[in-house]
């Protein structure tokens, strides 16, 4: 009996062992036969790492082939992250010796050598841990050589000559050219941690300039150590970008803008910002684009803190700055008036003030200038003639009870000249400006009515200036009641480029180019051609024509002829005193735009030669005073530089005779 029990237990145990063996054999068969290839492939993939090899970035060239942005080889020091973390102290001693050799704080080198991740602030390395991590890119050759010769002290540290961006013009054209920064995440297309264009031409044409990265495949063991290189594909260099920028004229433009701002500040004007644009009138190509304040693009070669980065004036006032255009706008009002039936040669009265909607609208300094035709009205910048035109057009459209489809001749003309919309220039950021009308004002009022009516009750207790606070409360009360109404005063302000009208310097330059070339409206272009590394032109870039101003050639010539007298005997005569008009006939228009709570905006828009314009020059200085005292002298300096004319007297400036000013 006992033997039978014992044999039964052995049988059960045998069955269990047999079952376990069959299960183990089945699992082994599944892993090796069924899923073996998949695991083998995964194991192979785990042993291979891909490292992107950055290409040499293409240059940006001026119209004559001179470099605006180029590359220069510079010794750089990098570390191998995987080698460091396999040190007993995870590389701390190596980094400490490296920081001492470089003369840098340990924290700076250690921070740049760490990997980016959640909770890790920049500077850090955003790329693969298998790529060389650059910890210093402005090392002198002697220091780099010393580190390279002492590999026993610096395991995992490498030195190499790498291309870095160089800006031969210094601070000139910094906003136009843009800058490079590491991608916030590994870039698409296998570009790894390569620097990418973040503004200006560097961003707009990043795909052209960047080239194609190479690839290096490396083998690593289970601990992550590199065991060998499996293969490598060389990077392809980027293409060069040929532009229409003339570096000589760009420097002249930058100098003129900076000089006029400095002089305005000496006179007591805030002159806090400005811009200057030079366009080819007949092609729409950009010759120069300057913005103030500027910055030195060499800062991108240093390790910027977030605070330093945010303090840089990166916005280009030439394409993003928006101001009321003042009397430079009168070319629009004149063209609209003529198309609406006013005769250019007729006689119109220019009193010191004109009543619009029960309010007195005045000339600059209340000057009464007598009777004149539209030619003279532009030369002396009479406001009251244009107030009358605007009031009459507003009434013809129904006034406070507008007709079903008001013509709004001045707004229509402004849009034909390209205002109220982006120019489409080949830069990544651009403001649209504003052409206000009935629909815009109503929509704005509906959007802000609740807040406006609240302010009408509470006022502005946070405003320290009690007089200003009272004014703002009164204004809020008026807007709460009828803020969506397009008043006659709105039309009057529109006629002289005041009120809610906004333009960018580039928009105004394009509008004046259309006046100068007979009505052709271009979308400006800075790039002219894409050039391969072998010097072959791969693609030409031409500014497209995007519109045609429907104004007769006779009217455009009339306006051009009037503007030709502005620097000779009108509002810019003081600024152009002694100018050699026999060698270069400059035509232009001053503008002095008011801004509540701020000093006047100074404008001068011009083209030359007056008979057959080649270039357009526009200058604006925010809080710079009158157009004749600040912007016009800067434009004169630019014209003298473009055509290599003798420089005028340093004492030039002023409003000239009979300055209507607005």
Structural domains of the chain in order of their starting residue, each with its CATH number: 50-243 (3.90.1310.10), 247-293+518-642 (3.40.710.10)
Task: Decide: 516 and 560 in contact? Cβ < 8 Å.
Answer: yes
pLDDT above 90 coverage of the chain, percent: 62
Show the tokens assigned to 418: 């390209």
Show the tokens assigned to 215: 């690839």
Give me the residues paired with residue 232 across strands: 216
Q: What is the pTM of this model?
A: 0.85
Among 380, 285, 278, which residue's Cα sits nearest to residue 619?
278
> Mean pLDDT in the chain?
88
The pLDDT of residue 193 is above 80: no
The pLDDT of residue 66 is above 70: yes
Continuous segment of H or E residues that includes residue 181:
strand 180-182
Residue corresponding to tokens 């795909």: 207
Helices 384-396 and 330-339, packing angle to 10 deg: 50
- 547 CA to centre of own chain: 24
Among 199, 282, 197, 210, which residue's Cα sits nearest to residue 244?
282
Task: Decide: 655 and 661 in contact? Cβ < 8 Å.
Answer: yes
pLDDT in the model for residue 595: 87
The pLDDT of residue 485 is above 90: yes
Show the tokens assigned to 609: 């030669």
**Within 10 A of 233 (CB to CB), how many other CB atoms are there?**
12
Provide the CB-side half-sphere exposure for 475 (13 A, CA).
9
For 347-404, the pLDDT digits (tens) are 999 999 999 988 999 998 889 999 999 999 999 999 999 999 999 999 999 999 999 9
The pLDDT of residue 35 is above 70: no
How far apart (Å, rounded) are the C-alpha atoms in residues 114 and 112?
A: 6
Cβ burial, residue 647 (10 Å; 0-12/13-18/19+): exposed
Task: Identify the band that residue 225 occupies on the pLDDT scale cut at 50, 70 and 90.
Answer: low
Task: Identify the band that residue 564 occupies on the pLDDT scale cut at 50, 70 and 90.
Answer: very high
Task: Identify the band that residue 654 occupies on the pLDDT scale cut at 50, 70 and 90.
Answer: very low
Task: Identify the band that residue 661 occupies on the pLDDT scale cut at 50, 70 and 90.
Answer: very low
How far apart (Å, rounded) are the C-alpha atoms in residues 417 and 411?
A: 10
Provide the CB-side half-sphere exposure for 41 (13 A, CA).
4
Show the tokens assigned to 588: 């232009």
The pLDDT of residue 465 is above 60: yes
Cα–Cα separations (whole angstroms), residue 652 to 278, 558, 575: 22, 28, 5
- Residue 362 three-state SS: strand
Max mean pLDDT among 151-155, 437-441, 481-485 falls in: 437-441
The pLDDT of residue 179 is above 70: yes
Give me the residues paired with residue 166 across strands: 70
CA angle in degrees (0–180, nearest 5) for 408-412-413: 120
For 433-447, the pLDDT digits (tens) are 999 999 999 999 999
**Within 10 A of 580 (CB to CB), how many other CB atoms are there?**
14
The pLDDT of residue 5 is above 70: no
Show the tokens assigned to 280: 């080819």
Cβ burial, residue 597 (10 Å; 0-12/13-18/19+): exposed
The pLDDT of residue 97 is above 70: yes
Q: Is the peptide bond before 293 cis (omega within 30 degrees of 0)?
A: yes
pLDDT above 70 coverage of the chain, percent: 86
Which DSSP state fits 339? Answer: H
HEC assignment per residue over 82-144:
HHHHCCCCCCHHHHHHHHHHHCCCHHHHHHHHCECCCCCCCCCECCCCCCCEEEECCCCHHHH
The pLDDT of residue 189 is above 70: no
How far apart (Å, rounded) are the C-alpha atoms in residues 423 and 546?
A: 9
The pLDDT of residue 596 is above 70: yes
Max mean pLDDT among 31-45, 127-141, 216-230 falls in: 127-141
Residue 76 vs residue 301, higher pLDDT: 76
Max mean pLDDT among 2-11, 18-27, 227-236, 317-326 falls in: 317-326
Max CA separation in the chain (angstroms): 141
Q: What is the CA radius of gyration of the chain?
A: 34
For 296-347, the pLDDT digits (tens) are 988 886 666 667 888 899 999 999 999 999 999 999 999 999 999 999 999 9
pLDDT in the model for residue 305: 67
Residue 78 vs residue 255, higher pLDDT: 255
HEC assignment per residue over 507-563:
HHHHHHHHHHHCCEEECCECEEEEECCCCCEEEECCCCEEEECCCCHHHHHHHHHHH
The pLDDT of residue 41 is above 60: no
- Helices (DSSP H) in 132-275: which residue ranges? 141-148, 174-177, 200-204, 206-209, 247-266
Task: Identify the band that residue 652 occupies on the pLDDT scale cut at 50, 70 and 90.
Answer: very low
The pLDDT of residue 45 is above 70: no
pLDDT in the model for residue 659: 41
Task: Decide: 281 and 613 in contact? Cβ < 8 Å.
Answer: yes
Among 380, 258, 266, which residue's Cα sits nearest to residue 638?
258
The pLDDT of residue 15 is above 70: no
Task: Decide: 225 and 86 in contact? Cβ < 8 Å.
Answer: yes
The pLDDT of residue 183 is above 70: no
Among 369, 360, 378, 438, which residue's Cα sits nearest to residue 402?
438
pLDDT in the model for residue 655: 42
Cα–Cα separations (whole angstroms), residue 101 to 92, 123, 156, 395: 14, 20, 15, 79
Show the tokens assigned to 233: 């594909």
């Amino acid at each position: 009996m006992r033997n039978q029990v014992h044999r039964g237990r052995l049988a059960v145990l045998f069955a269990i062992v047999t079952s376990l063996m069959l299960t183990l054999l089945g699992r082994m068969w599944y892993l090796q036969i069924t899923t073996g290839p998949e695991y083998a492939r995964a194991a192979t993939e785990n042993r291979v790492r891909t490292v992107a090899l950055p290409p040499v970035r293409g240059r940006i060239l001026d119209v004559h082939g001179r470099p605006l942005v180029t590359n220069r080889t510079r010794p750089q020091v990098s570390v191998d992250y995987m080698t460091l973390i396999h040190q007993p102290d995870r590389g701390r001693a190596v980094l400490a010796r490296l920081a001492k050799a470089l003369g840098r704080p340990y924290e700076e080198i250690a921070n740049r050598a760490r990997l980016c991740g959640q909770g890790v602030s920049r500077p850090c390395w955003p790329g693969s841990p298998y790529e060389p991590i650059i910890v210093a890119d402005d090392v002198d050759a002697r220091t780099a050589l010393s580190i390279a010769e002492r590999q026993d002290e610096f395991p995992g540290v490498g030195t190499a000559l790498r291309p870095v961006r160089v800006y031969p013009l210094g601070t000139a054209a910094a906003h136009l050219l843009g800058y490079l920064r590491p991608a916030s995440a590994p870039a698409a297309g296998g570009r790894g941690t390569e620097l990418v264009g973040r503004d200006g031409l560097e961003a707009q044409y990043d795909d052209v300039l960047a080239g194609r990265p190479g690839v290096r495949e490396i083998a690593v063991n289970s601990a992550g150590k590199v065991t060998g290189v499996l293969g490598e594909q060389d990077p392809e260099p980027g293409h060069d970008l040929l532009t229409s920028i003339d570096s000589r004229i760009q420097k002249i433009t930058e100098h003129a803008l900076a000089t006029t701002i400095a002089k305005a500040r000496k006179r007591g004007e805030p002159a806090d910002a400005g811009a200057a644009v030079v366009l080819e009138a007949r092609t729409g190509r950009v010759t120069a684009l300057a913005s103030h304040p500027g910055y030195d693009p060499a800062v991108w070669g240093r390790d910027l803190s977030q605070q330093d980065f945010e303090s840089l004036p990166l916005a280009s006032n030439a394409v993003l700055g928006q101001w009321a255009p003042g009397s430079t706008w009168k070319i629009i009002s004149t063209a609209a008036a003529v198309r609406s039936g006013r005769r250019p040669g007729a006689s119109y009265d220019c009193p010191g003030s004109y009543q619009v909607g029960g309010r007195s609208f005045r000339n600059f300094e209340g000057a009464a200038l007598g009777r004149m035709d539209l030619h003279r009205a532009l030369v002396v910048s009479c406001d009251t003639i244009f107030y009358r035109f605007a009031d009459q057009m507003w009434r013809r459209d129904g006034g406070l009870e507008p007709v079903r489809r008001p013509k709004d001749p001045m707004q229509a003309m402004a849009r034909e000249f390209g205002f109220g919309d982006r120019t489409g220039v080949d830069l990544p950021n651009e403001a649209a400006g504003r052409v206000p009308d009935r629909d815009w004002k109503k929509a704005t009022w509906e959007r802000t009515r609740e807040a406006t009516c609240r302010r009408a009750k509470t006022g502005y207790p946070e405003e320290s200036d009690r007089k200003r606070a009272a004014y703002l409360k009164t204004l809020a009360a008026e807007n709460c009641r009828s803020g969506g109404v397009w008043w006659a005063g709105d039309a009057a302000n529109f006629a002289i480029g005041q009120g809610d009208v906004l333009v960018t310097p580039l928009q105004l330059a394009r509008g004046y180019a259309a006046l100068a070339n007979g009505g052709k409206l271009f979308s400006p272009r800075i790039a002219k051609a894409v050039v391969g590394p072998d010097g072959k032109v791969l693609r030409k870039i031409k500014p497209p024509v995007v519109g045609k101003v429907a104004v007769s050639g006779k009217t455009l010539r009339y306006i051009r002829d009037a503007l030709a007298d502005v620097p000779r005997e009108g509002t810019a005569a003081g600024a152009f005193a002694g100018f050699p008009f026999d060698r270069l006939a400059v035509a232009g228009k001053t503008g002095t735009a008011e801004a509540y709570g701020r000093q006047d905006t100074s404008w001068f828009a011009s083209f030359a030669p007056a008979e057959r314009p080649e270039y357009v020059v526009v200058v604006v200085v925010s809080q710079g005073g009158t157009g004749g005292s600040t912007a016009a002298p800067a434009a004169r300096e630019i014209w003298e530089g473009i055509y290599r004319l003798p420089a005028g007297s340093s004492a030039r400036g002023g409003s000239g005779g009979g300055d209507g000013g607005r």
